[in-house]
Amino acid sequence: MAPSLLIVESPTKAKTLNRYLGKDFIVKASVGHVKDLPKAKLGIDVENQFKPEYQVLRTKKKVLRELSDAAAKAEAVYLGPDPDREGEAIAWHIAEELKIDGKPLYRVLFYELTPKAIREALQNPGRLNPNLYDAQQARRILDRLVGYLISPILWEKVKRGLSAGRVQSVALRLICERERDIQRFVPEEYWTITAQVSPKHEQGPKEKADLFHAKLWRTGSKKAELRSEEQTSAVLRALEGNLFRVSKVEKKQRRKNAAPPFITSTLQQEAARKLRFPAKKTMRVAQRLYEGVEIGDEGAVGLITYMRTDSTRLADEAVKAARDYIADRFGPSYVPAKPNLYKAQSGAQDAHEAIRPTDVTRTPESLEGFLSRDEWALYSLIWKRFVACQMSPAVLWQTTVTIEAVPQGDVSEAETGGADEKKKRGPVHWFRATGSVVDFPGFMVLYTESEDDASAEKDEGAGERLPRLSEGQVLDVHQLIPKQHFTQPPPRYSEASLIKELEERGIGRPSTYATIVSTIVDREYVQESKRQLVPTELGLLINELLTAHFPEIVDVEFTAKMEKSLDEVENGTCPSLKVLEEFYRRFSVTLSQAHKAMRNLKVAGLPTGLSCPQCGGDLHIRFSRNGPFLACANHPQCRFTSNYRRDDKGRIELVERESSGETCDKCGSPMVLKKGRFGEFLACSAYPKCKNTRPVSLGVPCPREGCDGEIVERMSKAGRKFYGCTRYPDCDVVLWSRPTAKTCPQCGSPTMVDKVGKKGEKYSVCARAGCGYKAPQESS
């Protein structure tokens, strides 16, 4: 009997499966998609039920020939791409192109690559799922309609090369709206008073360990709200000489449960917080862990379950294995009486398990020598989260101490002459301190979830350890600390917090989160700065145009509704044609209106409300291939242009041309520093009369012997920085690391390159080809 053919997506996955299957199967890889819509045209027949025009990818023709040849010799064909919409589309397209001559054709789903899971999948194969494929195809068609029909309008009205995406545009809107919220925010001043206190001791100095902090909480019956330094100073004066004593001690036991096992979005968020991984990197590393990693003599082993999932469900045998492991390593008290169950979020698909290790006994420590640093870090995160989710909750004692501060004479009403006299002296000031003690660590011995970065300042002393205190106990006051604060604007989105926001709003799916952010960054609509997502000037403009003319496309609720409709297509409760027709009926009207109504920024530009410093005309934002700039609306009579920036309120400011100190070698005018898409360059200030430009020199001579050129910084078309000679093309020296003006002790070259090795060691190498000199930087 001839072996059967099993087709999967990746060569790594094929290698792992080959290890388990032996002679009964030939395993081959399609290496991703084999068909797609054409790049040069829409590829959707909107007049014929939105029929897509799929084409075999040029790079996959040879792959399909090999797969067809193998299928012709096989007993049966099993299609095993990833178990999701995208994988179903790949399986469907392979089936359409294979010549199998009536042989059995099966669909197999591998949720983890372990011997048992592989055996069960192949013993219980299914058929291609038309509903799942329809849902993927409908999403692809929707994305193509939006991208290929809106983008030409942007090319016509703004500049070529711009694009719009169905889900990405919503993410851009969220980022831009947050930026506008930050710009509109007006900070308000407020003050706090923190008392540094300790229990009063009759003998000797106070123990430093007894010091703790309490924050002013109430003044009389009202919440303490200090809005100015004057108010704060008045309270401090009123507190002078006051007696501080404990009014109330409240102790509450609190149980803290472990976080659920990872789903795609929470894995991306936590990897961003703990490991500083971008979402795209997280998914790339997770894919390797799922498909199989070489583990010594064992060969390729799949270490985690499938990483695109929104279900927190866990297999019973995996839970039992985790509980056995916890009891063995940590003891019976760390195993809850019943397995921990976690409720899935609304709309979650339950076909996949949560992300977990395929074998809990493969501890991170046992794999440290076999995984790369990134693989080990991510696997450790997944393993710890999974084990912790089946551990007992942590038990904490939370203590809240209320402290009253009263004038010394008000200690008893009898001494003060009654309530009327007490009223004259002002209200009692109340302070509060909170602290917690871990009574039983539970899951926290292994793992605690990180929180998103918060911009708000933390209260001094919040959550600190408190000494033993009792009601009525008098306290020593060591210091009263006034502190000025300002309310903070909402924080910019990080990649992790944006993914969390998209997930909570029902936008996107596990397979799309990673690409949403990378797409708007690659399009230069957003840039990442200190792990924050900041809209660029281009991004703000595109969002403004899309919001004005395609309000439904960038509407959060509308996009979430479309996601639900696609889920209904997948579940078989709604035809995909109905979803497409309803969308296009409204979209085509909006598209036609936008063609007519959208302002042509190529002709008129975008008004700014600023006046031209040369002629007094209006200044408009215009776009070139190098980005946005300001230009006079009276062009060509007035040729004033300028770069610009925005202040922290979003107001436009002209940027003075930066003089370089050099003169133009053609007309003698000063050269100014400008920035283009290939980096900074020098341009003549007499432009447009003189259009002379030249690159910015680093002051480093060319290392090639006999060349009198200098090395300058350049940018490749792919956006990669490199360093080349000013005499190009006569001299083709290219350096990929920044050079320095150091003399090589071996050949006398005037240029060296500083580099950093894989282990962080720093060294210098000669930049002259053929020399080969290399030495630690300290001795160079």
- Cα 168 from Cα 518, distance rounded (Å): 9
Of the candidates 78, 290, 306, 379, the residue annotated as catalytic is 306
Angstrom distance (rounded) from CA 764 to CA 753: 6
Phi-psi region of 241 (alpha: psi -120 to 50; beta: other; left: phi over 0): left
Question: Rounded to an integer, what distance in angstroms lies between the CA atom of residue 464 and that of residue 213?
Answer: 8
**How much of the chain is helix, strand and coil, in % rounded to 5?**
35, 25, 40
Report the DSSP beta bridge partners of residue 620: 607, 631
Cα 467 to Cα 204: distance, rounded to the nearest angstrom: 17
Q: 3-state SS string over 544-590?
A: HHHHHHCCCCCCHHHHHHHHHHHHHHHHCCCCHHHHHHHHHHHHHHH
Reply yes or no on whether 20 is catalytic: no
- Using a 10 angstrom Cβ sphere, with 0-12 exposed, 13-18 middle and 19 or more buried, the burial of residue 39 is exposed
Token digits for 350? 């339950």
How far apart (Å, rounded) are the C-alpha atoms in residues 404 and 475?
10
Cβ neighbourhood burial of 644 (10 Å; 0-12, 13-18, 19+)? middle
List the end-to-end C-alpha distance of the chain, in Å, as a whole number.
Answer: 69
Cis omega (within 30 of 0) for bond into 575: no
User: Could you give the CA distance from residue 127 to residue 396 in angstroms, rounded to a whole number?
Assistant: 52
Residue appearing with tokens 């500049």:
159
- Report whether 150 contacts 591 (CB < 8 A): yes
User: How far apart (Å, rounded) are the C-alpha atoms in residues 703 and 725?
Assistant: 9
Distance CA 644, CA 657 (A): 10
- Kindly calculate the radius of gyration of the chain based on its CA atoms and give it in whole angstroms: 33
Residues marked as catalytic: 306
